[in-house]
Chains A and B, each alone.
Chain A
Amino acid sequence: MKMFEYMGKELFAKYGIPTPKGRMAKTPEEAEKIAAEIGGPCVVKSQVLSGKRGKAGGIKFPNTPEEAKKAAEEVLSMTIQGLPVECVLVEEKLKIDKELYMSITVDGSAKQAVMIASAYGGMEIEAQPEEYIIKKHIDPELGMHPFFARDVVRRMGVELRSPHGKEMINIIQTLYKICKEKDAELVEINPLVFSDDRVIAADSKVTIDEDALFRMKELPFVEDKSPAERAAADLGLSFVDLDGDIAVMANGAGITMGTLDTLQAFGGTPRNFLDCGGGTGREATAKALDILLGLEPKGMFINIFGGITRCDDVANAFKDVYEARGGFPVPVVIRLVGTNQDAGREILRSIGVEAFDFMEDAAKRIIELTK
């Protein structure tokens, strides 16, 4: 779950990482009030879960509270990459002497968290050559210690005993603490700013591990999914919008990807990715079928190789939806093999549907039917 910039900064501030003066506003009047409190040049930043806010005009630099009100009014009426701006962050405008980069994320290959840092942060971080990027893994059994932070700061070329160095040593250790305590799979500060003697997190990007939300109840909820993605997520399923016309349901991420690849290889275009694996029961599977039909596809392709998913559960769900709707409005092809396969096929036969044995035959058939 991605967090808005202002939420990330609130989290940083709570943990003692310096952030710019200011806070979130939902109305131009609030923005004006905050700007007056700050009492000088400000920044008004749109709060949306997408990058490229600056390029879209979603960041403004008013000099007075009146200008801040006007800037907030403009930004609050914007839509950035399809996302309406619902709030802004009003902050002091920093004097920027230098921009740096810091993040901690999970490296799946190393099976460890990794600190990534650079003395050259800001907009162009991804274009920096490898030699300017510092990567240092955090041994989970050892944990985070001051020496680790000192070594990162040294490699960033910052004097350890300088005010900047001392603050950075604190920030590095704190970032890991946030990762562990909040189950953050990413915490990123870009840029981390030197402003006279201060070191300040001028931006924040925090992503909480969705699998850990059950134990992160005190965090604010952020909706970062489309309606269909949300409907599927509420059923415990994973859905991704694509732009074709054949709705797809399969059980397991790998086989779902393989199904999309196969459809595409034979000239079909998938409407979506929907993984209903992991032992999804009859009721949730039926609801998932309803989500797919709600997309108004030209056809629907169900590809099940049952392991923990049971073919009879899928067939019963299929039958439930079929009966509730008095048939399907579009051609539907189902391939059904694996655990409880015979029982599943018997159920399908009771409504006159014959399941396929092989994915390639089934894929070819749905493409034929939707041509």
Chain B
Amino acid sequence: MAIIIDENTNVLVMGITGRQASFHTKQMLAYGTKIVAGCTPGKGGQEVEGVPVYNTVREACEKHRIDASVIFVPAPGTKDAALENLEAGVKVVVIITEGVPVYDEIDIVAYARRKGAYVLGPNTFGIVSGGKCKMGIPPNQYFIEGDVGVVARSGTLTYEIVGNLTANGLGQSTVVGMGGDRAVGLTFVDVLKMFEKDDQTKAVVLIGEIGGNNEEIAAEYIKEMTKPVVAFIAGKSAPPGKRMGHAGAIIERGKGTYQGKVEALTAAGAKVAPLPFEVPALIKEALGRK
């Protein structure tokens, strides 16, 4: 089954004519993603990697069924691009762009809620349903089909852990990047609920980091889950008051600490891996595999 996207998802690439977008369009196509359209205002009529380019999202929607969009436009234009896709009725919008102003993010997320759409990001690597569909920028070769669901705030740390899972023969149902910014579209709980319902997913890896209270809120829901959850929390060695790259990754006023998150998750029945490469062994243990 997988969650959010699968082999039948028709994808639009926003900003497809840009350097990063065209490179990753090629990579996504190679993974098997059904990219049916691209959109760059003023560049309609061209083709990128054989994909037709349209001037507006509405125009693309007149010619194709668009289930999901992946946005590669620069930060100043991201809000406009995201709203254009949501307004056109696209139900899954994946925003790769980093450096989007936080009040723009708040507006995007609020509008998505009203439209009943999912927003991943901003500042996400994207989403991969193992062997079926990839939207975003992760390297193809590490993402294989299987029964482990992965949900994360951070991109490359996810590659690290998924790479370890794959090297240990553990494929993935869906790997979801929520994004590293403060105001992103999904929460851990939103995604955990989807994994709990998904037939293909047998266990879940939650990749969190210091700062905020998302992991603590997730712990409350994990108590109710029937599927095992293994977590890794980045930032154990981070000093308080220093922002570790992500807008959210900062220990402020003694809140959002590594210790607090580990305690909440452990009390909820999740297993916490002290280091990234210790995740696969804990998943195997939870699933009773060798």
Contacts and interface: CB of A to CB of B under 8 A. Distances in A.
Contact of B20 (A108, A185, A212, A308): A308
Interface stretch (B7-15, B50-58, B271-279): B271-279
Contacts of B239: 242
B154 A252 contact: yes
B160 A211 contact: no
A255 B109 CA distance: 26
Nearest to A181: B103
Q: Shortest 9 CB-CB distances between A and B: which pairs?
A: A254-B154, A253-B245, A252-B156, A254-B157, A108-B182, A212-B101, A255-B156, A257-B234, A275-B245
Contact of A261 (B96, B214, B275): B275
B101 A252 contact: no
B227 interface: no
Nearest to B109: A111
A358 B142 CA distance: 13
Interface of B: 20, 24, 27, 75-76, 96, 98-103, 105-107, 109-111, 114, 125, 137-139, 142, 152-160, 163, 180, 182-185, 187, 207, 209-210, 212-214, 217, 232, 234-239, 242-249, 253, 274-277
Contacts of B111: 141
A211 B154 CA distance: 18
A299 interface: no
Contacts, number: 178
Nearest to A304: B156
B159 A338 contact: yes
Given A254-B207, A339-B139, A180 B103 contact: yes
Contacts of A263: 237
B152 A254 contact: yes
A355 interface: no
A183 interface: yes
Interface in A82-127: 106, 108-109, 111-113, 126
Interface in A241-292: 242, 250-258, 260-265, 270, 273, 275, 277-279
Interface in A113-168: 113, 126, 139-141
A334 interface: no
Contacts of B154: 252-255, 257
Contacts of A250: 156
